[in-house]
Structure 1
Amino acid sequence: MTLEAFQHSEALSLGVELELQLVNTHDYDLAPYADDMLRLMAKRQLPGSVVPEMTSSMIEISTGICQSPAQVLEQLSQIRDALVQCADKLNIAVVGGGTHPFQQWHERRIYDKPRFRQLSELYGYLSKQFTIFGQHVHVGCPDADSALLMLHRMSRYIPHFIALSASSPFVQGQDTAFDSARLNSVFAFPLSGRAPFALRWADFTAYFDKMTRTGVVKSMKDFYWDIRPKPEYGTIEIRVFDTPLSIERAAALAGYVQALAAWFMQAQPFLPVEDDYLVYTYNRFQACRFGLDAIYVDPASGEHLPLREHILLTLAQVERHATTPGATASIRQLRHSAEQGHNDARWLRECHAREHLLAEMTRQAGEKFRR
């Protein structure tokens, strides 16, 4: 199978996908209501789409093509409001967060769709353990070579995205001591991690052709990389975000991606090199484990500094490039989070410390999503 041509898209356009939890309102465990939600949502006229995910207690929403974080927020708001209304009819709740805090993976049901069945046959129990919830952000690139340059520049900021979106501290009823435990589940898959270092589409195509000849890969969907090109959309897709507890945070994270991409395109601030990846896995681990309290190793200078300091320096750098509607508000919201050291993982832990009950924490997270 050959790699499809890189399609045209408007540079800096945005698309956002959110994987969401469906929980019952009895004990706030995951509930297999995806089919019922899809049936009710199909009657609504909404932007974007609503589709099933790997297991039947998950649902994925996505925006259409947006030009700004304000438009992302507007579309997500419409979809969120419809989701909440449909969930109320079914007596269930829709919740954000990167993991459900106490669900048992062996109780999950694979959604009845050919691709999900194939993945379940290939990956066994890992498929059910993939009942985790992420936000994906697509950003439009003017051409294929620009997309690869954007991808490898963006890789330096993966720890920012992880720490600012982290919302998965609890797994199987336990505090994992990670802010983002979700990404540990992703790392279990053989084609996860980082994309190969290629700055020309011809070189990337050669790599893809080699992989398909092995029979391991059939399409770009088989790569679970932190960032991957999406040639059919003309975008790169950033996949490390935990699903936030609110759509406002989801839109702000998309705004940050757009501002970074604008800075890259307008200022050409640095040329990525293979050695950037010497500290990639370490930085990624630090952000997953410690969130905004992580240490960041600058891949160019080798300097060690607090991650939140690096985030604040970067936000100041990109702010002048945050010119689309809602972009300034996105930067302001994320700056406040970095200054306070407060992300959704911290919110969940503080809620649990008050309530001492994971079900009540999940209920309150559902209330946070619907506002």
Structure 2
Amino acid sequence: MSDLSKLSFTSSRPLTLGVELELQLVSLRDYDLTRAATDLLAGLQYDDRFGEIKLEITESMIEVNSRPRQDVTAIAVDLDGLREVLVSHCQRNNIAICGGGTHPFHHWPERRICPGERFAFLNQRYGYLSKQFTVFGQHIHIGVPSGDDAIWLTHALNRYVPHFVALSASSPFIDATDTAFESARLNAVSAFPLSGQAPDVADWAAFVDHMGLLQSCGVAESIKDLYWDVRPKPEYGTVEVRVCDTPLSVDRAIELAAFAQCLARYLLRERPPVVPAMQALVARYNKFQACRFGFKAELADPIHRRTEPLGETLLHLLDTLVADADDLGCRRQLERLRTLAHSQHGDAAWLRETATAAGNLHDLTRAATERFAEPSCYRPHA
């Protein structure tokens, strides 16, 4: 176990961005998930210029991580570069790659855990949940200068978990069934005992005390064991938003990163009142609403004791962030999200419509691989 009593927060430049994407590996024969990750990486010749490509918990997943960047344009270069490398390498190995928060029809018992001490530990601790954890998310890291800032921003961002869920939702199908959810992926995450909202700790010292308690009781060995919606990542000097489904395109992933950066800048600049104990009263309900209904969710507001439509609050929030987007150079990305929120037609809707038109989920997955293969419109080209 790590000595959490000595846990320190590595300061980073404010609003630095990093993005992680968990991606599906599918067979070109039937577009089911395929057990290919270890062999695929073993044959990959890549110099890490755009970031990392690495294993995830099962052999049907691959994870890509951008480098730490200061702006969304640089994130676009990384994510599109990683997409290009992987799509090309997968084609040479008769594999396709795609986004989406869940595979539409795979059977979880057929998954195989990747080699590695961490993955073996998760399999031993969580049993069948580790194979059911073959779901795919986007994580966004936002740099902050101190541990106290990280704790404050973690609490402040928790209010907006439903908005991230609605904007990214891309997992309506599980086990060849339309779940009636916009994001069914998060139901798999919620099964883990340390999922949900961060506890009401006041500052970094209180967080370290909390982690020490969890370790002493055998609940958690490290921060990696915390599956919180938003959590501090002290070794990177970031706050990590963990609730987004992996989008169907790198463009949507870039837009979500821009939204996170703008929102963090606004929150850190304005420092609105944050009441974690009140948020905790409705956090699970509000996240459920966003997962189930997406843009049409009705959110509980415990401060004013009322409900509010997620779609309306999201449009207002995006309008509020325009000045921050201009200063950060990502107005275009935010405008695309505003169009999305206004239309209420996201990736989940596209998946349902494409499945209906195709008549089967195999052709739906093929269409999803073709969509992910498309180059980003945000990457500058010489």
Cα 1:320–1:300 shift into 2, 3 Å: farther
SS at 1:323 equivalent: helix
Q: Does 1:322 pair with 2:325?
A: yes
Q: Are residue 197 (structure 1) and residue 200 (structure 2) matched?
A: yes
Q: Which residue of 1 aligns with 2:3?
A: 2
Aligned to 2:119: 116
2:260 to 257, 263, 267: 257
Query: Once the 2 structures are TM-superposed, how far is the Cα of residue 95 of structure 1 from its aligned partner?
Result: 0.6
For each residue in 1:292-343, what CA deviation from the matched residue of structure 2 results, as whole angstroms up to 9, or x when unmatched?
A: 1111223432332221101001111111111355511121111011100011
What residue number does 2:105 align with?
102
* Conservation of the 8 A alpha-carbon contact between 1:68 and 1:324: no
Partners of 2:27 and 2:107 lie apart in 1 by 15
Paired residues, number: 371
Shift of residue 280 of structure 1?
A: 1.0
Q: Where does residue 91 of structure 2 map in the other structure?
A: 88
Q: Is the 8 A contact 1:28 1:359 kept in 2?
A: yes
Alignment match, 1:355: 358
Counterparts of 2:124 and 2:45, CA distance in 1 = 29
Question: 2: CA distance between counterparts of 1:214 and 1:269?
Answer: 35
Q: Which runs of 5+ in 2 are unaligned?
A: 375-382
Show the counterpart of 1:183: 186
Residues 190-224 of structure 1 deviation map (CA, whole Å, 9 limit, x = unaligned): 11111111121111111111111012211100111
Assess if the C-alpha contact under 8 Å between 2:262 and 2:328 holds in 1. no
Match of 1:60 in 2: 63
Instruction: Find the partner of 2:176 among 165, 173, 178.
Output: 173
Please name the residue that 2:279 is paired with: 276
Q: Tell me the alpha carbon deviations over residues 7-29 of structure 1, each in whole angstroms, 9 at most, x when there is no partner.
A: 01110001000000000111100
Kindly provide the amino acid, as one letter, of the partner of residue 3 in structure 2: T
Give how far 1:142 is off.
Answer: 1.3
Decide whether the 8 Å contact of 1:296 with 1:310 is kept in 2.
Answer: no
Aligned partner of 1:212: which letter?
Q
> Of 348, 360, 366, which residue of structure 1 is paired with 2:369?
366
The alignment's C-alpha RMSD in Å is 1.2
User: 1:42–1:223: structure 2 CA closer, same or farther, 3 Å change rule?
Assistant: farther
Letter in 2 for 1:159: P
Equivalent residue runs for 1:231-246 within 5 Å: 231-246=234-249
Residue in structure 1 matching 2:29, options 23, 26, 31 = 26
Cα separation, 2, equivalents of 1:28 and 1:55: 17
Shift of 1:188: 0.6
- Distance in 1 separating the partners of 2:282 and 2:10: 32
Distance 1:47 1:110 in 2: 27
> How high is the TM-score relative to the length of structure 1?
0.98
Conservation of the 8 A alpha-carbon contact between 2:19 and 2:75: yes
Moved more, 83-92 or 270-279: 270-279
Partners of 2:89 and 2:330 in 1: how far apart? 31
Report Cα offsets for 1:29-49 as digits up to 9, x if no partner. Answer: 001111232123343443210
Partner of 2:379: none
Q: CA deviation at 1:176?
A: 0.4
The question of 1:35 aligning with 2:42 is answered no
Deviations 1:116-136 (A, max 9, x none): 111111111111000000000
Please state whether the residue corresponding to 1:322 is helix, strand or coil: helix
1:2 maps to amino acid: D
CA distance in 2, matches of 1:353, 1:83: 29
Question: What is the CA distance between 1:156 and its match in structure 2?
Answer: 0.5
Report the secondary structure of 1:41's partner residue: coil
8 Å CA contact retained: 2:231, 2:239 = yes
Shift in Å, 1:108: 0.5
Q: Distance in 1 between matches of 2:133 and 2:276?
A: 32
Q: Which amino acid aligns with 1:116?
A: F
Question: What is the identity percentage for the equivalent residue pairs of Structure 1 and Structure 2?
Answer: 47
Comparing 288-297 with 163-172, greater Cα deviation is found at 288-297
Distance 1:73 1:254 in 2: 10
Structure 2 matches for 1:116-195, cutoff 5 A? Answer: 116-195=119-198
One-letter amino acid matched to 1:76: L
What letter is aligned with 1:43?
A: Y
How far apart in 1 are the matches of 2:337 and 2:39?
35
Return closer, same or farther for 1:70/1:272 CA change in 2, 3 Å cut-off: farther
Q: Note closer, same or farther for the CA distance 1:365–1:324 as it changes in structure 2 (3 Å cut).
A: farther
**Pairing partner for 1:345 from 327, 345, 348:** 348
My pick for the range that moved more, 301-310 or 224-233, is 301-310
Q: Equivalents in 2 of 1:128, 1:67: separation in Å?
A: 35
